[in-house]
Structure 1
Amino acid sequence: MSRTVFLLVFRSPLFPAHWALWIPSADDKNVGKVIEVDGSVHTGFEHSIDPVFDLSKTTRTFVVIKLGEISDDTVVDSESRIIDPIEQVALSVPAPGPTLNPVASNAPPKAPVQLSNCQNWITKFVAELVCRNLLDASANEVVQNAPKN
């Protein structure tokens, strides 16, 4: 059996969209696992995994984009903190650190500034899933063409 994996794109007219990976549970297509990094370019990001995220209760504007299919044995539907294979891959991709100095910072200027955020991380995470043959290579193209705002 296989499970469908989606990219969640939380749209924003002013800032880069927030991206997360979404895997609906086998029992309820509104509830599932969200894998993402949370934070900011000022403070850096941290891995975040919510095994029981209820998509029907979110109030933010979002788009759901199919990335592909993964083997059912790579995902565990559980509130327990069993780290399943897809989470292991997510945790192996480092979350971005701070990439933007505050205005009042005494840090030397970086040239040029390369901002790294959740979109960069999802791109690397999906590429790693493809590299490990957990997702089809077409998922990389889907991510490249996803809405950025």
Structure 2
Amino acid sequence: MPRTISLSIFDNGAKPAHWAIFIPTGDQGLRGKIIHRNYDFLSETRIYHILPLAQVSEQYVRDTVGNGRESIDTIARDRMESVAVVVPAPGRSLNPFDPTALNCQSWIFHYVQRLSVEGLVSSDASLVLQSAPRVLRK
């Protein structure tokens, strides 16, 4: 059975929006994981938007409880997390307001591209990213 992975977009003030990949526990609701941590949108105070990004085979996803507690675990528990650990993180930007600086959005593009290359998601997921908001505000 396919699972839905989504792009989560969070308000980040005047800076580019924070992007993350969200996989709901049991393929429904607002609890699950953001690659790489446990997450519960019900406790989120920032403005956010969730866009369905792609379908992935359930064999590549291991559910979490989605209780929002920060995980100190750094071990990849499923294929989605395994791919994420090989995509280099952009590091801290010297100018977080620079729209051309590498940030979480560029990391998401590289991550989704790698998922596509490895055959886990359709290349159509890149189209969703291209049309996603770069800034999210009240």
Task: Output the TM-score relative to the length of structure 1.
Answer: 0.75
The C-alpha deviation readout for 1:107-131, integer Å capped at 9, x for no partner, is xxxxxx9511000000100111111
Shift of 1:86: 0.5
Q: Secondary structure of the equivalent of 1:142?
A: helix
Shift of 1:12: 3.5
**Residue correspondence of structure 1 range 83-94 to structure 2 within 5 A:** 83-94=77-88
Q: Secondary structure of the equivalent of 1:126?
A: helix
The C-alpha deviation readout for 1:21-56, integer Å capped at 9, x for no partner, is 000011762211101xxxxxxxxxxxxx11x31112
Report which of the two has the higher share of strand. Answer: 1
Residue 51 of structure 2 aligns with an amino acid whose one-letter code is I
Residues 7 and 19, structure 1, Cα contact 8 Å, conserved in 2: yes
Residues 33 and 64, structure 2, Cα contact 8 Å, conserved in 1: no
**Residue correspondence of structure 1 range 31-42 to structure 2 within 5 A:** 31-35=31-35
Give the Cα–Cα distance (whole angstroms) in 2 for the partners of residues 27 and 62 of structure 1.
19
The C-alpha deviation readout for 1:70-124, integer Å capped at 9, x for no partner, is 00010111368552110000001010134427xxxxxxxxxxx951100000010
Q: 2:52 aligns with which of 60, 66, 69?
A: 66
Identity %: 38
Distance 1:86 1:119, change over 3 A: same
Residue 64 of structure 1 aligns with an amino acid whose one-letter code is I
**Residue correspondence of structure 1 range 45-64 to structure 2 within 5 A:** 49-50=36-37, 52-64=38-50
Give the Cα–Cα distance (whole angstroms) in 2 for the partners of residues 14 and 63 of structure 1.
17
Task: Output the TM-score relative to the length of structure 2.
Answer: 0.81
Q: 2:103 aligns with which of 112, 117, 127?
A: 117
User: Larger radius of gyration, structure 1 or 2?
Assistant: 1
Give the Cα–Cα distance (whole angstroms) in 2 for the partners of residues 123 and 31 of structure 1.
23
Structure 2 residues not aligned, in runs of 5+:
66-72
Residue-pair matches, total? 124
Residue 77 of structure 2 aligns with an amino acid whose one-letter code is I
Report which of the two has the higher share of helix. Answer: 2
Indicate the RMSD between aligned Cα atoms, in angstroms: 2.1
Residues 4 and 67, structure 1, Cα contact 8 Å, conserved in 2: yes
Q: Secondary structure of the equivalent of 1:26?
A: helix
State the match for 1:39 in structure 2.
none
Q: 2:63 aligns with which of 74, 77, 84?
A: 77
Give the Cα–Cα distance (whole angstroms) in 2 for the partners of residues 139 and 127 of structure 1.
8
